[in-house]
Amino acid sequence: MSDFLLQLSKNKAARRVVRSLPLPIPLPEALRRDSGPLGDRPLADRAVAIGFADGAELAALLASTLGAAGADPYLAGEAHVPAFRDAGEAYGRPARPIDALGSRAFDALVLDATGVRDVPGLRALFTFFNGHGQRLARSGHAVVLVRMRRDASADEQAARAAVTAFMKSLAKEIGRKGCTANIVEVEDGADARLGGVLRFLLSGRAAFVTGQPIRVSSLASFAEERVVHGPRLERRVALVTGAARGIGEATVRRLAQEGAHVVCRDRPSDSSATTQLARSIGGTPLHVDQTEADAPAMVADALRSFGGVDVVVLNAGITKDRTLAKMSVEDWDRVLEVNLASAIRLVRALEPLLRTGGRIIGMASIAGIAGNVGQTAYAASKAGFSGLARGLAPALAARGITVNAIAPGFIETRLTAAIPVAVREVARRLSALGQGGIPDDVASLVAFLASGDAQGITGQTVRVCGGSFVGA
């Protein structure tokens, strides 16, 4: 079940041997991940190269964000040096010319392309990443910032679409080195919410997120009091469904690490695993079958005793993979009921209990985006969470509540270990990063979306798929 090629690639000598073989064996890069709670300087001492397309609008924000996060900025060009002066003095991170790093590699590349309004402007992408892409370290992160203007012309929209495809392609090219490439689309008026997104995307907590556009908006109101230090979710109550194992368990542990009190819901048949998990993180087990008619009321009652809930993670799910022709109506009903219908009923019951600045996070799937043979029911049920996020986000925005879906790609769990070996191997290798993710990759994304750093993200589906071959 463990990824043999990945294990092999961690051994220097073996790596050399395999590379020298006249065989097309793609050795994946062992990803550098950051673990533990998101600290106040998640980018401490990381070297970040920063470029600016003409008309770049976010230099000052990049300066303060990166400085406060502990990163060392290296600037391409001199036009924006003054914008970095204050942050340099404040955080002891003076901006230096991009050549000053010498032969060392950059941990991240950031291009502020907010000024790109037409196709000729795209040349800035080529210049920056062609010039410095080779200097990105293994497991490095590339990010492009684009502006979502309300009044964007057709030319500008064409350029914007081009940027996204450029970065997705770059993601596939640099994925072999374990590097990621993502796009951040900043809406007018949402600049202040960019910082938290960058702290995540440029860190090893987003090691398996790549080829992904993320929209930063001011839709969800609520200015969270900035947490300067310590766990981001202290004094918060989180509910995780399907908590007992796999992604659910990793999510429970990560949210607890961030300081949340986690209520772990799973089926009564999994009660011992759920109880053990809840006990080990100081949380509360909740043995309720989500598909029972009175489940929403029972969960709501339990959360009411904590005074409400801040984070709801809808993770419970099953697979009954069959091609449509062979699928029974019972299986179809069961998958849609467990994965989606019961989750929606639960959300409806919890809506009044969600506190200001709350979060709803649904576990979708890459299958729900791309479709998959034998997964008509599963894909349909998972895609439902993307729709739920889009539909519910505007309604809850006034209360500062965000609603998002996460679409994991191939994640190494008990579920995927059961896949036939050939299929499994193909699924692993067909991603930009050439490997499967780990449950903690998904958990890190959940923890990020649950935090105040993600106040600008709502109504979206974020993939954590290593740049899956299929999927948007």
Partner 1 sequence: MARRAVVVSGVRTPFVKAFGDLVKVDTIGLGVAAVRGVLASAGVGRADVDAIVWGGVILPSAAPNVGREIALDLGLDPRCEAMTVTRACASGLQAVTLAAAGIERGEYDVAVAGGSDSTSNAEIKLPQKVVHALAPLALGKPTASDMLGVAAQLLPISELLPQRPRIAERSTGETMGESAERMARRNEISRQAQDELALRSHQRAAAAIASGRFDNEIVPVTTPDGRTISADGLVRADTSLEKLSKLRPVFAKDGTLTAGNSSPLTDGAAAVLLMEEERARALGLRPLARLRSWSYVGVDPTDQLLMGPALAVPKALERAGLTLDAVDLVDLHEAFAAQVLAVLKMMASDGFARARLGRDRAVGTVDPARLNVHGGSIALGHPFGATGARMVTTMANELARTDKQTAVLGICAAGGLGAAAVLEKVS
Residue 104 lies near partner 1 (rule: CB under 8 A): no
Residue 133 lies near partner 1 (rule: CB under 8 A): no
- Using DSSP, state whether 185 is helix, strand or coil: strand
Residue 44 lies near partner 1 (rule: CB under 8 A): yes
Query: What's the rounded Cα separation, in Å, for the pair 43 and 71?
Result: 5
Site size toward partner 1, by CB under 8 A: 18
Contact range with partner 1 by CB under 8 A, out of 49-57, 91-99, 156-164, 303-311: 91-99
User: Per CB under 8 A, which of residues 311..350 are in contact with partner 1?
Assistant: none
- Using DSSP, state whether 297 is helix, strand or coil: helix
Instruction: Tell me the two tokens of residue 109.
Output: 């590349």
Instruction: Tell me the two tokens of residue 456.
Output: 């600008």
Query: What's the rounded Cα separation, in Å, for the pair 6 and 33?
Result: 15
Of these, 10, 85, 123, 279, which contacts partner 1 (CB under 8 A)? 85
Task: State which residue, 37 or 115, has the beta carbon closest to partner 1.
Answer: 37
Residue 86 lies near partner 1 (rule: CB under 8 A): yes
**HSE (side-chain half, CA atoms, 13 Å) at 323:** 3
Instruction: Tell me the two tokens of residue 307.
Output: 């005074």
Write down how long the chain is.
472
Do 458 and 220 touch, CB atoms closer than 8 A?
yes
Of these, 26, 36, 77, 92, which contacts partner 1 (CB under 8 A)? 92
Residue 155 lies near partner 1 (rule: CB under 8 A): no
State in angstroms the smallest separation of the CB of 91 from partner 1. Answer: 7
The verdict on whether 378 is a catalytic residue reads yes
Residue 87 lies near partner 1 (rule: CB under 8 A): yes
User: Per CB under 8 A, which of residues 224..243 are in contact with partner 1?
Assistant: 229
- Report helix angle 246-257 to 439-450, nearest 10: 50
State in angstroms the smallest separation of the CB of 89 from partner 1. Answer: 4
Q: In this structure, how many other beta carbons lie within 10 angstroms of the beta carbon of residue 404?
A: 27
Q: Where are the alpha helices (DSSP H) in 92-188?
A: 123-132, 154-174
Contact range with partner 1 by CB under 8 A, out of 88-96, 133-141, 391-399, 403-411: 88-96
Query: What's the rounded Cα separation, in Å, for the pair 109 and 151?
Result: 29
Of these, 28, 88, 242, 358, which contacts partner 1 (CB under 8 A)? 88
Task: State which residue, 71 or 264, has the beta carbon closest to partner 1.
Answer: 71
State in angstroms the smallest separation of the CB of 271 from partner 1. Answer: 40
Residue 453 neighbours by CB under 8 Å, 6+ apart: 38, 195, 196, 197, 199, 200, 232
Residue 320 Cα distances to 220, 247, 270, 335, 378, angstroms:
36, 18, 19, 7, 7
Please report, as a single letter, which amino acid is at residue 137.
A
State in angstroms the smallest separation of the CB of 229 from partner 1. Answer: 8
Instruction: Tell me the two tokens of residue 131.
Output: 């010039």
Task: State which residue, 44 or 119, has the beta carbon closest to partner 1.
Answer: 44
State in angstroms the smallest separation of the CB of 436 from partner 1. Answer: 32
State in angstroms the smallest separation of the CB of 65 from partner 1. Answer: 11
Instruction: Tell me the two tokens of residue 430.
Output: 């067909």
State in angstroms the smallest separation of the CB of 223 from partner 1. Answer: 17
Query: What's the rounded Cα separation, in Å, for the pair 95 and 72?
Result: 7
Q: Of the listed 74, 378, 410, 448, which one is catalytic?
A: 378
Closest CA to 365 of 412, 406, 333, 397: 406
Residue 93 lies near partner 1 (rule: CB under 8 A): yes
Closest CA to 364 of 216, 220, 247, 213: 247
Interaction mask 47-76, partner 1, x per CB under 8 A: -----------------x--xx-x------
Residue 304 lies near partner 1 (rule: CB under 8 A): no
Sheet strands side by side (includes 47-52) = 96-97, 72-75, 47-52, 106-112, 136-148, 180-187, 213-216
Task: State which residue, 26 or 82, has the beta carbon closest to partner 1.
Answer: 82
Residue 97 lies near partner 1 (rule: CB under 8 A): no
Of these, 37, 55, 60, 94, which contacts partner 1 (CB under 8 A)? 94
Interaction mask 3-42, partner 1, x per CB under 8 A: -------------------------------------xx-
Footprint on this chain of partner 1 (rule: CB under 8 A): 40-41, 44, 64, 67-68, 70, 85-94, 229
Residues with catalytic function:
378
